[in-house]
Amino acid sequence: MDRDQPLIDLTKQGNISAYEQLVDRYKNMVFTLALRLVGNKEEAEEVTQDTFLKVYDAISNFKGDSKFSTWLYKIAYHKSLDYIKKIKTQPRTNSLDGSYELDFQLMNETWNSLESKEKRRNIKKAIERLEGEDGLLITLFYFEELTLKEIANITDLEANTVKVRLHRARKKLALILKNTLEPETIKCYERAGK
């Protein structure tokens, strides 16, 4: 049985503290996804609030055909798109410089040599530099470990399109990380030379 189901049932009966537990469980993930799309913390928080308000209003219609989280992320995704449309911002685009040739052995060595805090900072910054929906797709796939089918359900895309976009996003992310890690790589070589 889905671990969210008891809380969903209680929420449907009007138990507000059950809904608060659901909110606590998912608020940071929804916020992160909104942030990937709208690119600003204040706006992402507003989208997150709107998402949970909408979910509360519509929870009686949730029949459990999909996972609660998938249904929630779908609402968050559409709320984010609505927000972007409303404020008429252009999707974020970044030009990426550098060769697409990636030396994974060197990248892995450099990555492993980093402190946890540095790793966190680097991966976060790299995702922020991804354009459009790439950051969202890659977060859903690698962090939330959703299947292609589930991501397709959230974004209303074909599973094959998600697969292609994910591959592109993955390559871009690796390139951004490679560029970020280059100074660290030099330090690594310097340390090895001493």
Interacting residues toward another protein by CB under 8 A = 16, 19-20, 23-24, 27-29, 31-32, 35, 41, 44-45, 48-49, 52-53, 56-57, 102, 104, 107-108, 111, 116, 119-120, 122-124, 126-127, 138-139, 142-143, 167, 170-171, 173-174, 177
Q: Is 35 or 162 the residue whose CB approaches another protein more closely?
A: 35
Dihedral of the alpha carbons of 23, 25, 29, 34, in degrees to the nearest 10 = 0
**Least distance in angstroms from the C-beta of 110 to another protein:** 11
Nearest of 133, 131, 110 to residue 179 by alpha carbon: 110
* Nearer to another protein (CB atom), residue 70 or residue 130: 130
Q: What does the alpha-carbon distance between residue 64 and residue 117 come to, in Å, rounded to a whole number?
A: 39
Please say which residue, 71 or 166, places its beta carbon nearer to another protein: 166
Of 63, 119, 129, 59, residue with least CA distance to 92: 129
Q: Compute the least distance from the CB of residue 179 to another protein, in Å.
A: 14
**Min CB(123)–another protein separation in Å:** 5
Query: What does the alpha-carbon distance between residue 188 and residue 40 come to, in Å, rounded to a whole number?
Result: 34
Nearer to another protein among residue 119 and residue 149 (C-beta): 119
Query: Distance between CA atoms of 31 and 192, rounded to whole angstroms?
Result: 42
